[in-house]
Amino acid sequence: MFELIIGTNRYSSQEDFIHTPSGLPDFAIPAFIFCKAWLAGQESFELQTSGSTGTPKPIQVLRSQMTASALATQSFFGITAGSEMLCCMNTQYIAGKMMLVRAMVWNCPILVIEPSSRPLSDLPTHFSPKFVAMVPLQVEESLSTNLEELKSLEYLIIGGAPVSKKLKSSILKEGLNAYQTYGMTETVSHIAIAAFEEGELMYKPLPEVELGQDSRGALWIKSAMSNYQTIQTNDLVEFHEGKRFSWLGRADFVINTGGIKLHPEILESKIESSIQPFFPNHSYFFYGVPDEKLGQKLILAIESLEPETEKAESLRGVLKEILHKYEIPKEIQLIPEFKRTRTGKINRLKTIQTIT
């Protein structure tokens, strides 16, 4: 049976949602209001896109799309009614809202807690969630603070950002039942899921999801989750056997230097272990600037409050040893603060605009 659990209070029937209780914590109010609207039969919901298909904008998403997404995920994993769920995501955004939809469609109890980096700490006694969605940072923290609780999860889906090599290694080492998801607001959460295994992540589409590529090699999606509309993304992918695909990066971030196309996200993953000794836990990304000779010149931007130019030069020396000559950044720029989206992701384009 569906139950929305907030603290020691439980709400399940439509009657429980007639009046918004006084004293609800701020983080729980959007969850309560959304469930109230859903149980009342509301057919359309306004959401804010993340920018996967273009400039972020508000869109209307139908109830049928969200239901289709929940049912496809249930079919993929084989979730049964009554399985306890934990929502540790902001329910003002699609990831959190879809956890609520899944609970209502699957007839499962769901505990909503304030989003934090350690979501498995201080859970109520005798509450053992089986299905949880987290962002990479939450998984990283939980590995060191709540490993046993993390290992007890039957299904842990990770989204919001790609998992780092280091985190992937820890997931495999600990044998977590974890999956990386691929999706966006326009497809009401994920449309494909990749199990963690050695080698490149291979995404498998959910049931009844149709995929293809445009002339750039960027993915398009058509399914009940997209209201049977073709959603054209800016994500470059490579298809493999069994309708699986691997993610290469964003088409709008591709850098053409000397006629060679570089995918920043792939390079960023490649240098992860090399950059940590010099700039531990610093954010970074590659981008291109116009260059008369090369067309575009490769730059590595690192978020750093200190002008540590000697470290940057030492890092560049190490990168020369591990990268192909055309992958070596011509410059390393130390930027005091990157621009970020409302959900905490690096906004590359706005950051670049402040640099150039």
Q: What is the pLDDT of residues 325-336, one digit of tens each?
A: 999 999 999 999
pLDDT digits 0-9 by tens, 73-91: 999 999 999 999 999 999 9
Q: Residue 102 pLDDT > 90, yes or no?
A: yes
Cβ pair 187, 206 in contact under 8 A: no
220, β-bridge pairs:
212, 232
Residue 133 host element (H or E): strand 131-134
pLDDT digits 0-9 by tens, 264-322: 999 999 999 999 999 999 999 999 998 888 889 999 999 999 889 999 999 999 999 99
Packed helices 136-145 and 165-174: angle between N→C axes, nearest 10 degrees: 50
Q: 3-251 domain in CATH 3.40.50.12780? A: yes
> What is the predicted pLDDT for the residue at 107?
97
Number of H helices, E strands in the chain: 10, 20
Q: Which runs of E-coded beta strand occur in 226-320?
A: 231-239, 245-250, 255-257, 260-262, 284-291, 295-303
pLDDT digits 0-9 by tens, 1-48: 999 999 999 999 989 999 989 889 999 999 999 999 999 999 999 987
For the beta sheet containing 210-213, the strands, ordered from the edge strand earlier in sequence to the opposite edge, are 210-213, 218-222, 231-239, 245-250
Task: Compute and round to an integer the Cα radius of gyration of the chain.
Answer: 21
State the Cα angle at 39 between 37 and 44, rounded to 5°.
Answer: 45
pLDDT digits 0-9 by tens, 179-210: 999 998 889 999 999 999 998 899 999 999 99
Q: Residue 49 pLDDT > 80, yes or no?
A: no
Q: Within the chain, which residue ranges are assigned CATH 3.30.300.30? A: 254-355
Residue 165 to residue 44: CA distance in whole angstroms: 39
> What is the predicted pLDDT for the residue at 56?
65
pTM: 0.82
Residue 267 to residue 118: CA distance in whole angstroms: 29
**Mean pLDDT calculated for residue range 218-231:** 95
pLDDT classification of 54: cutoffs 50, 70, 90? low
Residue 10 to residue 4: CA distance in whole angstroms: 6
Closest among 99, 178, 114 to 140, alpha carbons compared: 178
CATH T-level fold of 254-355:
GMP Synthetase; Chain A, domain 3 (3.30.300)
Q: Within the chain, which residue ranges are assigned CATH 3.40.50.12780? A: 3-251
